[in-house]
């Protein structure tokens, strides 16, 4: 009896294991359920900290508006547009669906008003009105969006709308990737005004009669978050490009195809927190740092000089590897005058674990003219410096 009982227990265990294996074959993993792709990079250098399916082409939905914002910001920086310029709403702009600030035909708003409406409230009508004004037509503005994407080497990207709304049956989706959106986000970070807008949680519109609420719920929930944009429609799932800064370290996280808004935000927050915990921005070289090696100038008014770093260099380094950073200088033993102030005279190579992470040019801190006739004579007889 005891023997048969043991056999029965073993058989049940085998069946349970077999069932578990079968279920594992058909049940998606939690990661597969959670999102389609994600990526985390450091903002200044673009160093990739983590990612999965980073080149997967995916509909960005309203994140499309970040490229619309980039086109506008470039035009503002060139003086082609002004924030105070007034835009009169067209009939087409007033007919946009989805997220909107309910623009009416004939209403007039400044570019700054409509940029806030596009980036805070994700107003499709605001995006359309801005596009018409900036390029003359929606079609020409989309051409500009794709030109900018090409210039930024966003090879996974194609835009067919100015706002990211789901396309009609005979039109293609906007497409991009986590990789490409990090490239775009890094460019947008060059515009402090844009971060000022994307960090707004609530804002009034139309004289205070309409309250705009930012869809990025990580604002105020996670310290350091100040942008950038969320996006959603059914096929695209829940997407976000979020950036946060702590100390000298700024990170960008992109999540695409999230199962729901809460899951998308959780993934982005976890990835950012992990990045901040693991990395710090190491200030490796400061502009003007003196390189402690004498370079002889046999025919110069100065007999020797020390080079200086032309620019500063910082890099996101794992917290446990700061001691692994090495700086190697490549400088000549001597150099002929005349030497101009700021003239390149060598190079510093920065390595982490024997991998080159950056290079800094070494320049002369001063002008060194050729030595005159009498100075050369004095030196010849041992009287000159």
Please report, rounded to a whole number, the percentage of residues in the chain having pLDDT higher than 90: 83
pLDDT band, very low/low/confident/very high, at 380 (cuts 50, 70, 90): low
332 backbone dihedrals φ, ψ, rounded to 5°:
-75, 160
Helices of type H across the chain: 2-26, 30-34, 64-77, 91-94, 111-119, 124-135, 138-151, 178-188, 192-198, 261-278, 373-380
Does domain 286-380 match CATH 2.60.410.10? yes
State the pLDDT at residue 18: 36
Torsion of CA 313, 194, 162, 59, to 10 degrees: 60
- Residue of 3 and 303 predicted with greater confidence: 303
Task: Please tell me what DSSP assigns to residue 300.
Answer: B
| Per-residue confidence (pLDDT) for residue 13, from 0 to 100 | 43
Kindly report the average pLDDT of the chain as a whole number: 90
pLDDT confidence bin for 379, thresholds 50/70/90: low
Query: Which positions ≥6 away from 182 have C-beta within 8 Å?
Result: 39, 41, 46, 241, 252, 254
pLDDT at 20 over 50: no
List all residues 6 or more positions away from 204 whose beta carbon is below 8 Å from its beta carbon.
Answer: 210, 211, 212
User: Of 90, 17, 34, which is closest to residue 256 (Cα–Cα)?
Assistant: 34
Higher pLDDT residue, 197 or 20?
197
For position 131, what pLDDT does the model report? Answer: 98
Record the tokens describing residue 330, joined without a space: 């490549």
Cis bond upstream, residue 338 (ω within 30)? yes
Cα–Cα distance measured from residue 216 to residue 99, given in angstroms and rounded to the nearest whole number = 14
Percent of the chain with pLDDT over 70: 88
Cα dihedral 190→191→194→195 (10° resolution): 50
d(CA 37, CA 205): 35
Token pair 């003359």 in the structure block, residue:
136
Q: Region 188-217: what's the mean pLDDT?
A: 96
Q: Regarding predicted confidence, which is higher, 2 or 173? A: 173
Fold assignment, 31-279: Beta-lactamase (3.40.710)
pLDDT in tens, 264-301: 999 999 999 999 999 999 999 999 999 999 999 998 88
Cβ burial 146-167 (10 Å sphere, 16+ → b, else e): eebbeebebebbbbebbbbbbe
State the burial class of residue 349 (Cβ atoms within 10 Å of its Cβ: 0-12, 13-18, 19+): middle
**What pLDDT is recorded for position 323?**
87
**Where do the domains of the chain lie?**
31-279, 286-380
Name 354's Cβ contacts closer than 8 Å, sequence gap at least 6.
Answer: 326
Torsions phi, psi for 39 (to 5 deg): -160, 145
């Amino acid at each position: 009896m005891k023997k048969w009982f043991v056999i029965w227990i073993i058989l049940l265990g085998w069946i349970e294991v077999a069932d578990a294996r079968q279920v594992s074959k058909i049940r998606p993993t939690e990661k597969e359920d959670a999102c389609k792709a994600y990526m985390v990079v450091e903002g200044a250098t673009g160093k990739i900290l983590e990612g999965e399916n980073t080149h997967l082409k995916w509909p960005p939905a309203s994140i499309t508006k970040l490229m619309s914002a980039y086109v506008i910001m470039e035009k503002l920086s060139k003086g082609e547009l002004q924030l105070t310029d007034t835009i009169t709403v067209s009939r087409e702009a007033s007919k946009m669906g989805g997220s909107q600030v309910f623009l009416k035909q004939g209403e007039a708003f400044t570019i700054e008003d409509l940029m806030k409406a596009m980036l805070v409230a994700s107003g499709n009508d605001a995006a359309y009105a801005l596009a018409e004004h900036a390029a003359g037509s929606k079609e020409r503005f989309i051409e500009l969006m794709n030109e900018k994407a090409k210039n930024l080497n966003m090879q996974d990207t194609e835009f067919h709308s100015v706002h990211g709304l789901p396309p009609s049956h005979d039109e293609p989706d906007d497409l991009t990737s986590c990789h490409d959106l990090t490239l775009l986000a890094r460019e947008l970070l060059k515009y402090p005004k844009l971060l000022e807008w994307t960090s707004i949680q609530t804002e009034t519109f139309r004289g205070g009669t309409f309250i705009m609420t930012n869809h990025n719920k990580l604002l105020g929930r996670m310290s350091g978050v100040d942008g950038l944009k969320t996006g959603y429609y059914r096929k695209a799932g829940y997407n976000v490009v979020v950036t946060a800064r702590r100390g000298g370290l700024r990170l960008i996280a992109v999540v695409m195809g999230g199962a729901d808004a809460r899951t998308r935000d959780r993934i982005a927050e976890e990835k950012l927190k992990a990045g901040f915990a693991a990395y710090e921005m190491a200030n490796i070289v400061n502009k003007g740092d003196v390189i402690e090696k004498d370079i002889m100038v046999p025919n110069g008014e100065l007999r020797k000089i020390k080079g200086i770093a032309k620019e500063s260099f910082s890099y996101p380094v794992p917290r446990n590897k700061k001691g692994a950073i090495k700086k190697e200088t490549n400088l000549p033993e001597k150099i002929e005058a005349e030497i101009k102030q700021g003239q390149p005279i060598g190079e510093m190579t920065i390595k982490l674990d024997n991998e080159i992470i950056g290079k800094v040019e070494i320049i002369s801190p001063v002008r060194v003219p050729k030595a005159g006739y009498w100075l050369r004579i004095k030196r010849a007889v041992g009287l000159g410096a």
